[in-house]
Amino acid sequence: MTVATDIAATGFESTDKVRASLARRHAAEKRFRLIGLVAILLGLGFVAILFASILAKGLPAFWQSNIRLTINLDPAIIKISPPPQQQEGQSNAAHQAELLAWRGELASLNWGRLIENALIAELPSDAAQRRRDVSRLVTSGERFKLRDLVAANPNLIGSTVDVDLLADANVDVWVKGNIDRTLPDAQLPLNPVQRNYVAVLQEKGLLVQRFASGLFVNVDSRSSLASAGLAGAFIGSLYMMLIVIVLAVPVGVAAAVYLEEFATKNRLTDLIEININNLAAVPSIVFGLLGAAVFINWLRLPLSAPLVGGLVLTLMTLPTIIIATRATLRAIPPSIRQAAIGLGASRVQTITHHLLPLAIPGILTGAIIGVAQALGETAPLLLIGMSAFVASVPVTPLDQSTALPVQIYLWQGNELRNFFEARTSAAIIVLLALMVMLNGLAIFLRRRFEKRW
Amino acid sequence: MLDPSKFLADPSAVNVAAAAQSEVALGDPKVIARDVNVWYGDKQGLKSVSIDIRSRSVTAFIGPSGCGKSTFLRCFNRMNDTIEGARVDGTILLDGRSIYDPDLDVVELRARVGMVFQKPNPFPKSIYENIAYGPRIHGLARNKSDLAQIVETSLQKAGLWDEVKDRLNDPGTGLSGGQQQRLCIARAIAVSPEVILMDEPCSALDPIATARIEELIDELRANYTIIIVTHSMQQAARVSQRTAFFHLGVLVEEGPTETIFTNPSDKRTLDYITGRFG
C-alpha cells in the first residue's frame, strides 16, 4: 500500500465518521431550536393571558350605569336668596366673604331630596313611601353635581333640568351581572323593592351606560363608591415623575460622566461602581424605609407627599440611569474621543460636543425606563404614608396624595369586590397605557437621536 | 499624480526615491527628544529614546509590532496622558520649549501638534462640521465666512475639495475609507498645526487610496513637520526623508532614509528591512 492510498483510506474513514455524527448534531440542533420556540410561545402565552384577563375585566368599567332624570329645581327645597352682588363702596374682601357664606348655605341644602323626588316621579306609586330605598339608587356624590349646577347658574332655580346621574355602585354591579343573582336576599346588596325599581328604570330606558369620565376626573371616594376616580392618584404620580426626571436624570448623568470620564480607576471608584450596581438590585421597599427614616423622621418632610415619594423614587431610579449612561458612554468608539482630544478639545468639550450627543439615545432610554419603573413602584410609597385614603387632588407636591399603583392596591382591597374588581382592572389599564406611552416615547426619541458612526 | 514606481517593492525604486530625497535640504530640528521612557504600569514600553525631528520633512518610524513606535509618536502631543496607567519621563522640546512646561497648556500643544489616526475617525457630523470643529473650539475664525474659508482651504490642501464641495452637509462618515482619512488630515490641517503626527494612516486603506495619501503627505511636507508611523517599509522609503527603526522599545538606528534602507549600520535593522523578522 502506498502512502497516497493510505491517506485516501483514512480520508474516507473520517468522512464516514463525520456523516455518522451529522444525524446526532442535526437532532441536537432541532431540539435546541424547539426548546427556544416553546419558551417564547410560553412567554407570549402568559403575556396574552395577562392582557386578556385585565382587558376583559377592566374595559367594562370604562362604561358605567347612569340614571337619566328630569330634576325639578324646586324653590321650596332650594330655599336660598339670590347670590350677593358687590355693592358700591363694598370692599372686595367683604364681597368675597358674603359670597362664601352664600355658597356655604347652598351646600347645606337638601339636594338629595331633589333627586329622590325626580326618581319617585318615574317609579311605581309605592316609591313615595320608600324614600330610603329610592335614595340609594343614585350614588351619594351626585347631589353635589346639582349644587354645582345651581352655583354656576342661580337662575336655574325653579326650572327643570335633564341630567344623567351615576347609579349607585350596587346598581351598577346588578345591571352588569357582576353578582350571582340566585343568592338569597340577605346576601344581595339590593333588596327586592330596589331590584324592582331598577327593572322599572331599565324598562323605561332611563338606565343607560355612559363613558365613566368620573374615573379620570374624580378623586377617590369611600362614601360615594361609584364616583371614585383616579384624578388624585394620577396627579400625585405626575408630580413624582416630574421630581424623578428633574432630580434623577441630571444627577445620574453627571455621576455617570464623572465616573466614566474623569474618575481615576482605583479601589475607591471600584467600590463605588460595585455599590451602584448593587443598589440597582436592592428591594424597593428598603428605599421606602430609607425615605421614611431620612425624609420624614429626620428632615420632617410631610407624610404622604409626592415630594417625599419623588425623592424616594429618585434614589431608586439613580442606579438605573447611572448604569445605562455609563454603558452608553462606554459603547462610544474610543476613536471619537481620540479624534476630539487629538484636535485639542478639552475634556469637557469632548464630553459636551461629542460624547453626550452620541449618548443621548442611550441616556434617554435608560431614563425613561427608570422613570417608568418608578411610576409603577408601590412598595416604597406604602412606607412613607402614600397608602392613606386621600380624597383631594394635590395642588403642590407637598400636599397629601396617593399614586396610581398605590390606588390600584387600595381599590384591590376594597370591600365592595364586585364593583372594584373591574375598577381596579380599569386603573391597571390606565397605568399600563401610561407605561406603553412612555416606552413608545423612549423608542421614538431613540430613533430620532440615533446616529451611526 | 500617481507614480506606478511607488508601488513597487523592488529595491531599485527605493534607491531612486531615496537618492532624490537626499538632495532635499532638511530643516532645523523642530522637535528634540532626549531619554524618553514610557511605562505602562510596570511594563516599560519605551527605553531611553533620543531623536531630533527636522522641520518641514517627513520622518518615518518603522519597526515590528509592539516595538514602541506608536507609543513614542503619542508622546509628542501628550496623547499618552489619556491612557490609564501610562507614565512618561525624559525631555521633549518643541521649538526648544518643553512640552511639559506648565505654561504650555496641553490643549495648545495639541493645536500645534495635530494627529491623524490609524483608522479614519471622522466625527458623526457633516463634512463641513468635521473641519470647522477645530477652528471653532480654538477660536481661529473671526466670522462665518472666515470659517468657510478655512474649511475650503483645508479641504483643498488635503486634496478632497473637488470631491466633496457639492456635499459639504453630508455626513463625513458617508465617505469612502480613503476620503475619510483625507477628511481627517484636512481636519488636522484646519487648526494650522506645525507638526502632524500620523499613526499608520494607510493601514486601513486600499492601495489606490494609500497612493493618494502618500502623495498628499509629500505635498504637505513643504509646510509641515510630519512624523509617520508605518508598518510598510516601502511606504517609509517612498514618503520619508529620515527613518527611525525601533525594536523592543529601543531606538535602534535613525538616519537619512536612503542610508537606513541601503546601508544600515545595525544588524537588527538589516535583518528587519531584508524581511528576516517582523
pLDDT in tens, B133-158: 999 999 988 899 999 999 999 999 88
Q: What is the pLDDT of residue B5?
A: 43
Residues 6+ apart with CB under 8 A from B5: B13, B16, B17
Q: What is the pLDDT of residue A263?
A: 87
* pLDDT band at residue B22 under the 50/70/90 scheme: very low
Residues 6+ apart with CB under 8 A from A37: none
Determine how many CB atoms are found less than 10 A away from the CB of residue A280: 17
Mean pLDDT across chain B:
87
Q: What is the pLDDT of residue A166?
A: 93
Best CA proximity match to A208, nearest among A161, A258, A172: A172
Contact A253, A365 (CB under 8 A): no
Q: What is the pLDDT of residues B70-105, one digit of tens each?
A: 999 999 999 988 887 889 989 999 998 899 888 888
Residue B140 included in any domain:
yes
Give the chain B residue nearest A261 (alpha carbons): B82
DSSP per residue, B65-129: TTSSHHHHHTTTTTGGGGSTTEEEEEEEEETTEETT-TTS-HHHHHHHEEEE-SS----SSBHHH
pLDDT higher at B95 or A453: B95
Does residue B196 register a pLDDT over 60? yes
Dihedral sign for Cα atoms in the order B268, B270, B276, B278: positive
- B170-204 core/surface letters (b: 16 or more CB in 10 A; e: else): ebbbebeebbbbbbbbbbbbbbbbbbbbbbbbbeb
Domain boundaries, position B57: 4-273
Q: What is the pLDDT of residues B235-260, one digit of tens each?
A: 999 999 999 999 999 999 999 999 99
DSSP per residue, A73-101: --TTTS--PPPPPPPTT--HHHHHHHHHH
Q: What is the pLDDT of residue A194?
A: 92
Does residue A363 register a pLDDT over 50? yes
- A377-400 core/surface letters (b: 16 or more CB in 10 A; e: else): bbbbbbbbbbbeebeebbeebebb
Query: What percent of chain B has pLDDT above 70?
Result: 90
Q: Which amino acid is at A175?
A: V
Helix, strand, coil percent values for chain A (each to nearest 5): 70, 5, 25
For residue B173, what is the domain's CATH number? 3.40.50.300
Domains identified in chain B, total number: 1
Does residue B18 register a pLDDT over 80? no
Residue B153 included in any domain:
yes
Contact B245, B2 (CB under 8 A): no
Q: What is the pLDDT of residue B275?
A: 85
Tell me the nearest-neighbour CA distance from B196 into chain A, angstroms.
10
Q: What is the mean pLDDT of residues A290-311?
A: 94
Q: Which amino acid is at A367?
A: A
Angle between helices A417-449 and A404-412 (to 10 degrees): 160
Contact B43, B262 (CB under 8 A): no
Q: What is the pLDDT of residue B11?
A: 43
Does residue A453 register a pLDDT over 50? no
Does residue A55 register a pLDDT over 70? yes
Most B-contacting residue of A343, A347, A358 (CB-CB within 10 A), to test interface: A343
* pLDDT band at residue A447 under the 50/70/90 scheme: confident
Does residue A19 register a pLDDT over 50? yes
Q: Flag if A339 and B114 touch (Cβ within 8 Å).
A: no
- B23-49 core/surface letters (b: 16 or more CB in 10 A; e: else): eeeeeebbbbbeebbbeeeeeebbeeb
Q: What is the pLDDT of residue A7?
A: 56
Does residue A181 register a pLDDT over 60? yes
Residue B278 included in any domain:
no
Q: What is the mean pLDDT of residues A382-394?
A: 90
Q: What is the mean pLDDT of residues A106-133?
A: 89
Strands B113-116, B195-199: pairing kind: parallel
Does residue A302 register a pLDDT over 50? yes
The class level of CATH for A231-449 reads mainly alpha
Gap between the Cα atoms of B179 and B216, Å rounded:
12
Gap between the Cα atoms of B51 and A220, Å rounded:
82
Tell me the nearest-neighbour CA distance from B263 into chain A, angstroms.
36
Helix (H) or strand (E) holding B144: helix B144-157
* pLDDT band at residue A86 under the 50/70/90 scheme: confident
Helix (H) or strand (E) holding A319: helix A306-331
Gap between the Cα atoms of B276 and B278, Å rounded:
7
Chain B residue numbers touching A342 (CB-CB < 8 A): 77, 79, 110, 114-115, 117, 188
Q: Flag if B115 and A336 touch (Cβ within 8 Å).
A: no
Does residue B4 register a pLDDT over 50? no
Residues 6+ apart with CB under 8 A from A212: A61, A62, A63, A64, A426
Q: Which amino acid is at A150?
A: V
Q: What is the pLDDT of residues B171-192, one digit of tens each?
A: 999 999 999 999 999 999 999 9
ipTM: 0.83
Which grid cell is A433?
397605557
Tell me the nearest-neighbour CA distance from B276 into chain A, angstroms.
33
Q: What is the pLDDT of residue B15?
A: 45
Determine how many CB atoms are found less than 10 A away from the CB of residue A16: 10
Listed by start position, the domains of chain A span 3-60, 63-221, 231-449
Does residue A261 register a pLDDT over 60? yes
Which grid cell is B86?
501610562
Q: What is the pLDDT of residue A11?
A: 65
Does residue A5 register a pLDDT over 60? no
Give A189-246 as a 3 state SS string: CCCHHHHHHHHHHHHCCCEEEEECCHHHHCCCCCCCHHHCCCHHHHHHHHHHHHHHHH
Strands B242-247, B58-62: pairing kind: parallel
Chain A residue numbers touching B76 (CB-CB < 8 A): none
Chain A residue numbers touching B131 (CB-CB < 8 A): none
Which of B82, B121, B191 is closest, CB to CB, to A344?
A: B191
Range name among A30-34, A187-191, B227-231, B249-253 with the lowest pLDDT average: A187-191
Q: What is the pLDDT of residues A144-172, one digit of tens each?
A: 888 988 888 888 888 899 999 999 999 99
Tell me the nearest-neighbour CA distance from A322 into chain B, angstroms.
22
Q: What is the mean pLDDT of residues A315-321?
A: 93
**Residue A167 DSSP symbol:** B
Where on the phi/psi map is residue A390: left (φ > 0), alpha (ψ -120 to 50), or beta?
A: beta
Q: What is the mean pLDDT of residues B51-76?
A: 92
Q: What is the mean pLDDT of residues B196-220?
A: 90
CA A226 centroid distance within chain: 19
Give A242's Cβ-side CA count (13 Å radius): 10
Mean pLDDT across chain A:
90
Q: Flag if B124 and A333 touch (Cβ within 8 Å).
A: no
Determine how many CB atoms are found less than 10 A away from the CB of residue A267: 7
* pLDDT band at residue B2 under the 50/70/90 scheme: very low
Q: What is the pLDDT of residue A6?
A: 58
Residue B31 included in any domain:
yes
Q: What is the pLDDT of residue B159?
A: 87
